């Protein structure tokens, strides 16, 4: 009895000295599930970002994309679209005192002085302010004022003060076609085209990534994407000479 009691006391001391090991079933599943949960959160975050960038870039470029699509058709069929240019000519005369104040030919692209440009706008229905002028040694100042869908010019005779002007309007189809090409549209439209191009790039790239993410459930995705690449390549290689 004494021996048995001593043995039980020894076992109790060992159990008290050694900390109980945590049950494996209580900790292992939590560690196993933490990584997939984190991965799903990251994937969900980037998926939301892609959708956000995709719809915002689509909204920004929607109107311009419609314009450039329509003008792509009108440019492709320009020979079939009849247009009657409307030419308007006008004449006037500047006071000789003002003509004599014009600078001598030097910088061949300097614009007209502001007061001369304002005087020209009063005698003919064109305003040459800000446009580059061609200062001829033969006594003429010529100002070309092209714009989208139109051409215009003003000529000043430095010996007589006579002003001649002409404006040619080619119609609204020519106007939107020039917008498409960025022809004579100025710096504001230049920057607009750059912003529009970047928005289209974001729209296209995010669309491609979204196609890849959903392609498992849409078997026709990559054949159609491949077809979109193959068609222009085939046409360019075999049908353009």
Q: What is the 3-state secondary structure (H, E, C) of the chain?
A: CHHHHHHHHHHHHHHHHCCCCCCHHHHHHHHHHHHHHHHHHHHHHHHHHHHHHHHHHHHHHHHHHHHHHHHHHHHHCHHHCCCCCEEEEEEEECCHHHHHCCCCCCCCCCECCHHHHHHHHHHCCCCCCCCEEEECCCCEEEEECCECCEEEEEEEECCCCEEEEEEEECCHHHHHHHHHHCCCCHHHHHHHHHHHHHHHHHHHHHHHHHHHHHHHHCCCHHHHHHHHHHHHHHHHHHCCC
Same domain, 76 and 194: yes
Same domain, 127 and 77: no
Residue 235 lies in a domain: no
Residue 110 lies in a domain: yes
Same domain, 73 and 180: yes
Residue 2 lies in a domain: no
Residue 14 lies in a domain: no
Same domain, 178 and 150: no
- Number of domains the chain is built from: 2
Same domain, 49 and 157: no
Residue ranges making up the domain that contains 100 = 86-170
Q: What is the pLDDT of residue 170?
A: 94
Q: What is the pLDDT along the chain (241 residues), one digit of tens a residue?
A: 444 455 555 545 544 445 555 555 555 555 556 667 777 888 788 889 999 999 999 999 999 999 999 999 999 998 898 888 999 999 999 999 999 888 877 666 789 999 999 999 999 999 999 999 998 877 899 999 999 999 999 999 999 999 999 999 999 999 999 999 999 999 999 999 999 999 999 999 999 999 998 898 899 999 999 999 999 999 999 999 8
Residue 234 lies in a domain: no
Same domain, 141 and 186: no
Q: What is the pLDDT of residue 23?
A: 54
Q: What is the pLDDT of residue 37?
A: 78
Same domain, 79 and 96: no
Q: Which of 129, 145, 170 is the last residue of a domain?
A: 170
Residue 11 lies in a domain: no
Is residue 133 within 8 A of residue 114, CB to CB? The reply is: no
Q: Which of 109, 138, 170 is the last residue of a domain?
A: 170
Residue 28 lies in a domain: no
Q: What is the pLDDT of residue 1?
A: 42
Same domain, 127 and 200: no
Same domain, 71 and 96: no
Same domain, 71 and 188: yes
Residue 63 lies in a domain: yes
């Amino acid at each position: 009895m004494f021996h048995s009691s001593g043995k039980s006391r020894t076992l109790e001391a060992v159990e008290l000295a050694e900390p109980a090991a945590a049950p494996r079933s209580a900790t292992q599943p939590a560690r196993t599930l933490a990584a997939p949960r984190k991965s799903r959160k990251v994937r969900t975050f980037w998926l939301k970002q892609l959708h956000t960038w995709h719809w915002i870039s689509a909204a920004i470029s929607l109107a311009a994309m419609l314009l450039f699509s329509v003008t792509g058709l009108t440019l492709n069929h320009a020979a079939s679209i009849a247009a009657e240019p409307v030419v308007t000519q006008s004449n006037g005369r500047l006071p000789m005192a003002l003509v004599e104040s014009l600078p001598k030919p030097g910088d061949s692209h300097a614009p007209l002085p502001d007061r001369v440009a304002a005087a020209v706008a009063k005698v003919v229905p064109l305003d040459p302010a800000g446009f580059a002028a061609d200062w001829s040694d033969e006594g003429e100042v010529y100002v070309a004022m092209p714009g989208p869908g139109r051409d215009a010019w003003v000529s000043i005779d430095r010996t007589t003060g006579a002003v001649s002007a002409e404006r040619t309007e080619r119609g609204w189809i020519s106007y939107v076609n020039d917008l498409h090409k960025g022809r004579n549209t100025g710096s504001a439209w230049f920057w607009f085209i750059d912003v529009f191009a970047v928005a289209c790039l974001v729209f296209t790239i995010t669309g491609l990534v979204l196609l890849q993410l959903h392609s498992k459930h849409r078997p026709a995705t990559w054949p159609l994407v491949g077809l979109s690449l193959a068609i222009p390549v085939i046409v360019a290689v075999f049908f353009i000479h």
